[in-house]
Amino acid sequence: MEPTFRQSMDWLHTWAGVVLGGLLFAIFWMGTLAVFDREIDRWMMPMTRLTIPETNISFDALRPSYEAAVKARAPVWSVILPTEREPVLWLAYNDVSGQVRQFIDPSTGAALPDPGTLAGRRFIYPFHYMLHIRFQQIGIWLVGLASMAMLALCISGVVIHRKIFADFFTFRPRKQPRRMLLDLHNVAGVLGLPFHVVITLSGLIIFWSIYFPSGWQTAYPNQQTLNVEAFGIYARSKLNKPGELASLDAMVAEMQRLWSGDRPSSIQVYHPGDAGAYVRISRLGTNRVTRLTDVASFDAATGALLHHSVAPRPVMNGQRFIAGLHQIQFRHWMLRWFYFVLGLSGCVMIAAGYLYWIDARRKRHAQAGVPGVRIVEDLTIGGTTGIVIATLAFFVANRLLPLGTTFAGYERAALEVWAFYLVWIAAFGHAWLRPSRAWIEQCWTIAAFGVAAVALNWITTGAHLVRSLMHPHLWSVAGMDLLLLVGAATAALTARKLRCRAAGASAGAANVRSAELYPAE
């Protein structure tokens, strides 16, 4: 008998979730945290907990860093300007040893210590979209595969749940665990369904030029030509002759005149020290969803305006709107929290789906001697609570390791990343060695690490929760501490609930054995 369409969708929903659910959980978890990547940066880099300066910044005062870039023959010298979420100015260029970054206090112009961490912007955010696997862009392709699976899961989920609106209002926490898990999976899935579809599809559209290269390769000889034609980005080659740099302050003033006083977000000097050098100044644009490439390009030697971008072609303008909707870099705190909550609902949906699959098949697999449930459960533990523990270990390592720490040739930033991966691997090992207690013990570990991170932030920086709440420029730090404490409390309550349930199950099994040994006369 041929399977019906709904049965086919049920099969697709089940096995796409089982095979790729762990990868999807990691992507959703890191993406949810990346909503507040700048705030995580401020928590992990105490030297950047500054206030926005009231006076204008002199960019010509940054020439020593530019001269260093010229001496290092760097291809680009960059200045990232302070914002409300990241109130620090930083300079960057590449030399033979890699990227050189320098943080500047925008109020005083004083250099800040090297933060010695990748933090949220350079570890959590890139993990979300490329898993830190850069070779041949394999990480981006894996995320793309998981995104396609997520779209299939959303569509098949709608098909197999015929009472989808009733499912949204049905949650029975006091029912049997299997029923409760299915209700939780359904509620979390229906609650975030539009968000999950939009955020997944937009993630694919952001990397359209990688996933669908034939779309532009048939019309353009290379990526640079595409950027010039589609986005209006100006570029020119080196002349291999020495050149000077005119006043950056004058160029910024002209850029602000072009865009009605808008503040710049970044300055890049391409080919520094060369006669063909040019300056690209981008404007902030946090008052809109669309991630437009609004830039003004100037001749570095004369300061003459070479080009300023206009709106990209309609198709590309649509792509930039979708990219902005996904990356949420615009100024809207309520919507940012909305993204965060719905991102967590995606994590809950994936974890509950896994647990339902495990509970529904545990007895049958045990009777048949099939190890499938045991393998999936171990991978689920490591892929859900395990990655949460690893993330908290990343935060704890950041507060434990002093600035300038090195070990076995690795600097502090690399040691924090090692802490993340080693703890994550250990979580998988713990799930394999202690299958009956792993969920409970890892929940307790999450609670302990969450409290430890908050305590260490207080001890190492003096910014306890009360102090952070009293100073507006520390509210991002207070928010991080509060979320860590809420997460720790949730994990502790979950561990207690699981322990009570396990104790009840053990008592029930003991009563059954006792009844079998001593039947009533």
Structure-token pair, residue 48: 């950047």
The mean-pLDDT minimum among 103-107, 176-180, 341-345, 494-498 falls in 176-180
Q: Is 274 helix (H, G, I), strand (E, B) or coil?
A: strand
> Do 505 and 465 fall within a single domain?
yes
31 is a domain residue: yes
Confidence of residue 1 (pLDDT cuts 50, 70, 90): very low
Provide the domain count of the chain: 3
Q: Give Cα 278 to chain centroid, integer Å.
A: 33
For residue 125, give the nearest of 139, 138, 112 by alpha carbon: 139
Contact present, 342 and 192 (Cβ < 8 Å): yes
Contacts of 330-333 spanning 24+ positions with Cβ under 8 A: 330/285, 330/286, 330/287, 330/288, 330/289, 331/84, 331/286, 331/287
Mean pLDDT to the nearest integer, 126-137: 94
> Do 127 and 159 fall within a single domain?
yes
74 is a domain residue: yes
- pLDDT for 339 equals 96
> Do 407 and 469 fall within a single domain?
yes
- pLDDT for 512 equals 44
Q: Give Cα 178 to chain centroid, integer Å.
A: 31
- pLDDT for 174 equals 63
Q: Can you give the C-alpha Rg of the chain in angstroms? A: 27
- pLDDT for 2 equals 55
> Do 196 and 250 fall within a single domain?
no
Contact present, 144 and 207 (Cβ < 8 Å): yes
DSSP string, 233-268: -------SSB-----HHHHHHHHHHHTTTPPEEEEE
Residue 73: CB atoms within 10 Å: 14
Mean pLDDT to the nearest integer, 374-394: 95
Confidence of residue 312 (pLDDT cuts 50, 70, 90): low
DSSP alpha helices (H): ranges in 401-472?
412-433, 438-461, 465-470
- Name, in order, each residue with C-beta under 8 angstroms of 302's C-beta and a sequence gap of 6 or more: 246
- pLDDT for 359 equals 87
User: For all residues of the chain together, what is the average pLDDT?
Assistant: 88
Confidence of residue 437 (pLDDT cuts 50, 70, 90): very high
Buried b (16+ CB within 10 A) or exposed e, 329-364: bbeeeeebeebbebbbbbbbbbbbbbbbbbbeeeee
Give the structural domain span for 221: 1-45+117-225+314-320+351-367
Confidence of residue 317 (pLDDT cuts 50, 70, 90): confident
| Percentage with pLDDT > 90 across the chain | 58
> Do 361 and 385 fall within a single domain?
no
The length of the chain is: 521
Rounded to 5°, the CA angle 356-357-361 comes to 115
> Do 239 and 200 fall within a single domain?
no
Check pLDDT > 50 for residue 195: yes
Looking at residue 77, the DSSP 8-state letter turns out to be E
Confidence of residue 390 (pLDDT cuts 50, 70, 90): very high
Strand ordering across the sheet containing 111-112: 111-112, 98-104, 89-95, 76-80, 264-270, 278-283, 295-299, 305-308
> Do 403 and 481 fall within a single domain?
yes
- pLDDT for 518 equals 46
333 is a domain residue: no
For residue 403, give the nearest of 417, 393, 415, 420 by alpha carbon: 415
336 is a domain residue: no
Mean pLDDT to the nearest integer, 111-124: 93
Which position has the higher pLDDT, 236 or 414?
A: 414
345 is a domain residue: no
CB-based burial label for 482 (10 Å; 0-12, 13-18, 19+) = middle
> Could you read off the pLDDT of 275-300 as tens digits, one per residue?
999 999 988 777 788 876 688 999 99
Rounded CA-CA distance 100/114 in Å is: 10
> Do 19 and 167 fall within a single domain?
yes
Task: Note if the pTM is more than 0.75.
Answer: yes
Which position has the higher pLDDT, 292 or 152?
A: 152
The 3-state secondary structure of 142-193 reads HHHHHHHHHHHHHHHHHHHCCCHHHHHCCCCCCCCHHHHHHHHHHHHHHHCH
**C-alpha to C-alpha distances, 286 to 42, 113, 176, 256, 322, nearest whole angstrom:** 19, 28, 48, 15, 15
- pLDDT for 421 equals 97
Check pLDDT > 60 for residue 396: yes
Rounded to 5°, the CA angle 287-143-425 comes to 115
> Could you read off the pLDDT of 496-510 as tens digits, one per residue?
998 887 776 555 544
> Could you read off the pLDDT of 471-494 as tens digits, one per residue?
988 999 999 999 999 999 999 999
332 is a domain residue: no
Contact present, 451 and 396 (Cβ < 8 Å): no
338 is a domain residue: no
Check pLDDT > 90 for residue 361: no
Rounded CA-CA distance 390/129 in Å is: 18
Confidence of residue 109 (pLDDT cuts 50, 70, 90): confident
Mean pLDDT to the nearest integer, 204-225: 87
Dihedral of alpha carbons 183, 184, 187, 190, sign: negative
Conformational region of residue 370, where left means phi above 0, alpha means psi within -120 to 50, and beta covers everything else: beta
Contact present, 86 and 40 (Cβ < 8 Å): no
Rounded CA-CA distance 298/253 in Å is: 12
> Do 359 and 501 fall within a single domain?
no
**How do strand 295-299 and strand 278-283 relate by DSSP bridges?**
antiparallel
Confidence of residue 517 (pLDDT cuts 50, 70, 90): very low
> Do 103 and 247 fall within a single domain?
yes
> Do 125 and 12 fall within a single domain?
yes
Rounded CA-CA distance 97/100 in Å is: 8
> Do 19 and 152 fall within a single domain?
yes
- pLDDT for 175 equals 64
156 is a domain residue: yes
Structure-token pair, residue 310: 């206009």
